[in-house]
Structure 1
Amino acid sequence: MAQPERDERLARAFIELADTLVGGFQLVDFLHVLTDHMVELLEVDAAGVVMVDARGRLVDVTASTHTVHQLEELQLEFDEGPCRDCCLDHCVIPPVDLTTRAAADRWPRFTKAARTAGFTAVAGLPLRLREEVIGAVNLFHTTPDGLHPADLRLGQALADAATIGILHQRLSNDQAERVSQLQTALNSRITIEQAKGALGAHLDITPDAAFTLLRAYARSHSRSLTQLCLQLLEGTLHFGLFAQSDKDKHPGG
């Protein structure tokens, strides 16, 4: 990414992550914006977010790819991994080379799953404000040395901006609404998963490719990703809208 383009994207990222006091705020859409910026600005291969629910449990909320969604769920199932350590210790998890024995000893099942998925490095950034940690962001890379210290510092700045935005938004709600917001985000995640599965089956493409088409359409039309997926499942939005976009990406297909 050229420097002027990167600077423009960086400015837009911080503006978007501060813009939470708006009508119709959707947590899952907001976190998709965060992962999109993380992937593009830090030049990582994928990113995912887990959040702390009202009972103090970690829940998988969003990810930039279907594969990372699965890895986030495995972290929670195995009770091991960078997001878990990040939230437990309230600190950054520096890049871990998953090809090493140390990684296998630290997170044996997660490391094996991540390596099988093609990732060789991972890091964790807390979503925190002072002593309060509300979740964490995982960054995944396919090369062991792909996560640089300067990029991690920028990633933490983005995570901090997102945390402040979320906490400001929560302050405008009562406790019941705060709990409901995270549950709505989890429900939205299911809707998105179902929509990308349906679109993938219709176009005979992978879930990740379907997800890319859905996100691109939502972004280019300034639409909520959740509402877009819901309309697709309800039949008020037609699969044909995405067939042309898929042809544009694969003109030889």
Structure 2
Amino acid sequence: MAQWERDERLAKAFLELADTLVEDFHLVDFLHVLTDHMLALLDVTAIGVIMVDAQRRLVDVTASTDTAHQLDENQVEFDEGPAKDCCSQHVQVGPVDLNDPATAERWPRFTKAARTAGFAVVAAMPLRLREEVIGAVNIFHGRPAGLHPASLRLGQALADAATIGILHQRLSQDQAERVGQLHIALNSRIIIEQAKGALGARLNIPPETAFERLRAHARNNRTSLTHLCQLVVEGGVSAGTFAATQDRTRRP
């Protein structure tokens, strides 16, 4: 990416992360905006976002890939990993070498799962404003030295901007709506999972590929990912919309 393109993308990122006072705000779609910009600007392999619910429990909400999503689920299930430490300690965690024996001792099950998935290093940065932490962003890289300090600083700045946007949006809601926001996000995640499965079956492609095409279509057409996935599940948009030439050779 040329420097002028990077500068434009950076400006766009902070503008979009601040633009949350809209009538059709969806937390999952907003967090996909965050992960898209992080992927473009930080030179990382994958990103996942875990949020803290009203009972202070961790909930995996969204990720840039199926693999990262599974690792976020692992952290919640195993009750260990960088995001858990990040949310409980209110500080950035890492970068942590996944091949270091000390890491395997610290997070045994998560480390094994992350290494099996092909990642070599991980970091987590809090979604925070002052003392309030509402979640964490996990950043994964396949190269041992892939997470550079400058990228982590920029990542934290983007995470901070996203947190301000989310909290600003919450201030415009009543308490019931605030509690319901994360439940809506979880329902959106279910719809996205259903759309991935449905599109993958129709085109005979892996769910990961289906997810990438859904994200790309939503981004290129400036539409809500959740709304697009709902249309796919309900049959309101043809699978052929997402088909590539090579898919035709895979169909029975």
Matched ranges for 1:1-253 at <5 A? 1-243=1-243, 246-247=244-245
SS at match of 1:84: helix
TM-score (normalizing by structure 1): 0.96
C-alpha distance after superposition, 1:39-64 (max 9, x if no partner): 11101000000000011101000000
1:109-150 Cα offsets, whole Å, 9 max, x none, are 000000000001000000000000000000000011000111
Q: How many residues align?
A: 250
Unaligned runs of at least 5 residues, structure 1: none
> 2: CA distance between counterparts of 1:107 and 1:147?
19
What secondary structure sits across from 1:122 in the alignment?
Answer: strand
Between the aligned partners of 2:226 and 2:214, the Cα distance in structure 1 is 10
Greater alpha carbon shift after TM alignment, 190-199 vs 131-140: 190-199
> What is the CA–CA distance in structure 2 between the aligned matches of 1:238 and 1:251, rounded to whole Å?
15
Aligned to 1:96, the other structure's residue is in SS state strand
TM-score by length of 2: 0.96
- Partner SS, residue 146 of structure 1: coil
Deviations 1:184-226 (A, max 9, x none): 0000001001101111121121211111110111111111000
Q: CA deviation at 1:251?
A: 11
CA distance in 2, matches of 1:202, 1:6: 37
Aligned-residue offset at 1:94 = 1.9
Percent identity between matched residues is 70
- 1:252 Cα deviation from its structure 2 partner: 9.5
In the aligned structure 2, how far is the partner of 1:201 from the partner of 1:251?
13
